[in-house]
Copies of this chain bind each other. A is one copy, B any other.
Amino acid sequence: MLRLTDIGWESFAALPLEAKRPYLARPDGMPYHTLFAQQFDRGLLERLCALANRIRFINKSKEGALYLKNVLAHKRAMLYFSQPSSRTFLSHLAACQILGITTGSVRDAATSSEFKGETKEDSIRTFSSYFDMIIMRSPEQGLAEKMAWELSNSDRPIPILNAGSGKDQHPTQALLDVYTLVRSFETKGGLDGRTVVFCGDLLRGRTVRSLSYLLTDFRDVRQIFVAPPELHVPEDVIETLKSKGVEHAVVDDLRSAVKEADAVYMTRIQDEWDSSKGASAKIDTSRFKFGAEELKLLKPDGVIMHPLPRRDEIATCCDRDPRAMYWRQMRNGMWIRAALIAATFGFERSIMNCGY
């Protein structure tokens, strides 16, 4: 097995993402550090989904919930969110709590500003002194990766879980999206052969990029991209699909796409990345919203997803339709993160085999 202590930082950083994968894994193949979506192949995704299902089931009874709360009761996790995100924060917090992990946190500018004058490396090394895992969200691309290497080469080689780094990676969001798709179709023949429609700001949404990649691990999943011309899916995403021989289409009519969709993945216009303020507002996005009309066109067992928060991409009149999966998708995030964290600490097998 390869380890981050076997390779220098520059050599590691220069590797293509998929070649980095073995350096981040535990002996059982589960991730030790979780840094990017490309760490996960289909086998790993299925093991994590199965573990998430198991945790979700066990947690239904009080006895089961108390069993789970004991699994990692001897561990403490640091949630270091230098880029605030209450949703992602709370989801990871809840995942930790399900497993009995106690937590500390830095989650806003005011508290973390006081680290000024200290390098981020020293701050994270500090957290590693007090905790057994660092769940970090940072606007700085690559920081999680650097810290994983640094800690692995220190005498506190604790795992790093990347909870979002800049425009770059948000691997657990990709996991929860896959888990939601797998759950949605698990009693209906599975995810293979399905059609997934992505709609909205496909240029800047890192969730689309990651999910598109992970879906290539499944068989015959067709991908359709619907967006205004200014916000269309980047060429390299399309190149990846071509190189893997994945059927796909780039279109501009949501309604036609919805008719063919098994899943519609709506996204928000990410105007926080506008290079000039208000640039997004000038784009005509009116035809890229999901409302009552689109609902009528969707298959009876199709699903609507959204990474949330939403603005008006999905009309609230859809919220109580049984095909609206976006609320459950959020809760799935908690379960798959609990699965990932349990696996990180080597508890996959004991949870899968426990008596609950």
Contact = CB atoms under 8 A, between A and B. Distances in A.
A239 to B, nearest CB: 32
Contacts of A328: 129, 155
Interface string A314-352: 000000100000011011011000000000000000000
B327 A118 contact: no
B94 A104 contact: yes
B69 A74 contact: yes
A130 B94 contact: yes
A76 B104 contact: no
Nearest to A83: B114
A84 interface: yes
B78 A327 contact: no
Contact of A310 (B87, B107, B122): B122
A129 B327 contact: yes
Interface in A110-127: 110-112, 114-115, 117-118, 122-123, 125-127
Interface residues of A, number: 55
A53 interface: no
Contact of A114 (B69, B84, B104): B84
Interface string A273-311: 000000000000000000000000000000000001111
Per DSSP, chain A at the interface is helix
Tell me how many chains of this kind the complex includes.
3
Nearest to A333: B129
B114 A86 contact: yes
A38 interface: no
Given A65-B74, A66-B74, A130-B91, A86 B112 contact: yes
11 contacts: A69-B73, A87-B126, A90-B126, A91-B130, A97-B102, A97-B104, A108-B111, A118-B308, A122-B308, A130-B334, A153-B320
When A and B form their complex, which 7 residue pairs have the shortest distance between CB atoms, in order from nearest? A65-B74, A118-B309, A94-B130, A129-B331, A129-B330, A97-B102, A62-B74
Given A93-B104, A97-B102, 13 more contacts: A62-B74, A66-B73, A69-B74, A76-B94, A84-B110, A84-B111, A90-B104, A93-B130, A109-B110, A122-B309, A125-B327, A154-B327, A156-B327
